[in-house]
Amino acid sequence: MIGAALAVVRKDLRLAFANGQGPVQAVLFGLLLVFLFSLSAAPGERFSAQQGLAIFWLCSSFAVVLIFSLLFRFEEENGAATALLLSPLPVQGLWLGKTLAGGVLLVLCQAFFFPAALVFLDLGVAGEALPLCAMLAGVDAGLCVLGGLVGAMGYGQSAKDALLTIIVFPLQIPLLLGGIRIGEGLMRGGLWSDVSGWFGLVFAFDAVFAGAALFLFPYVFRGEQG
């Protein structure tokens, strides 16, 4: 299944960048959000770490919707989804490939969001890099696992972007809350042990929704083809 998933990743990334655009829409939308929020501060006022991280994860949350809408749009073209279902490719491999491709594109978007948040929101960064990277990996994994599953639910729907938004955002709340709390504690110089409970919440979220996606994705995606 891993080999099949990597083949899907290569296909999706090649298609995403084929026209030279990639996740440009998601990047521009996120940067616009950061800039607009920066205007809400009074001259000389600094955003707190909690506020800055909330804005960062809000940008990432919107980016996930746009990214997975783009990735599943590829399967609508020329009956590609039907061809994939008729191929020896495991359906779970398709979900894993979409999830991994979405993760690559999300990290690319965040490479723009985070520096923009540091500059426009005047955030100070403290703490060790390893726990911050673990936080980023855990929350990003949950966002993409959820995006890959819910993206299949919206596949083939005329209002799929609205459907994705309605379903995804409420489910993301525990994950985003964990990312904000962990990041706030670490950026203030806190220890790993201080936020271990929130790490447990994030990784439990990842495990639960990954298991649900592996079980439900074949039924959801095949059902949309029926």
- Spatial neighbors of 151 by CB under 8 A, at least 6 apart, are 68, 69, 71, 72, 98, 164
**Is-contact 128 186, C-beta < 8 A?**
yes
More confident residue, 98 or 186: 98
**Is-contact 202 182, C-beta < 8 A?**
yes
pLDDT of residue 78: 62
More confident residue, 175 or 73: 175
The predicted model scores a pTM of 0.89
The predicted model gives 187-208 an average pLDDT of 86
Q: Return the top range by mean pLDDT from 37-41, 63-67, 69-73, 184-188.
A: 63-67
More confident residue, 155 or 194: 194
pLDDT of residue 164: 62
Q: How confident is the model at residue 160 (pLDDT cuts 50, 70, 90)?
A: low
Joined together, the tokens standing for residue 224 give 């949309």
DSSP single-letter state for residue 126 = -
pLDDT of residue 30: 94
pLDDT at residue 224 above 60?
A: no
More confident residue, 208 or 75: 208
**Is-contact 1 9, C-beta < 8 A?**
no
Of the candidates 162, 13, 23, 155, the one whose C-alpha atom is nearest the C-alpha of residue 76 is: 155
pLDDT of residue 18: 83
Q: How confident is the model at residue 195 (pLDDT cuts 50, 70, 90)?
A: confident
* Model confidence pLDDT, tens digit, residues 113-159: 999 998 888 777 766 778 888 999 999 999 999 988 887 776 655 55
* Model confidence pLDDT, tens digit, residues 49-108: 888 899 999 999 999 989 988 888 877 766 676 676 777 777 888 889 999 999 999 999
- Spatial neighbors of 24 by CB under 8 A, at least 6 apart, are none
Of the candidates 76, 83, 210, 187, the one whose C-alpha atom is nearest the C-alpha of residue 138 is: 210
Q: Can you say how many angstroms the Cα of residue 197 is from the centroid of all Cα atoms in its chain?
A: 22
DSSP single-letter state for residue 42 = P
Q: Return the top range by mean pLDDT from 2-11, 16-25, 121-130, 185-194.
A: 2-11
**Is-contact 80 74, C-beta < 8 A?**
yes
Across the chain, what does the average pLDDT equal? 84
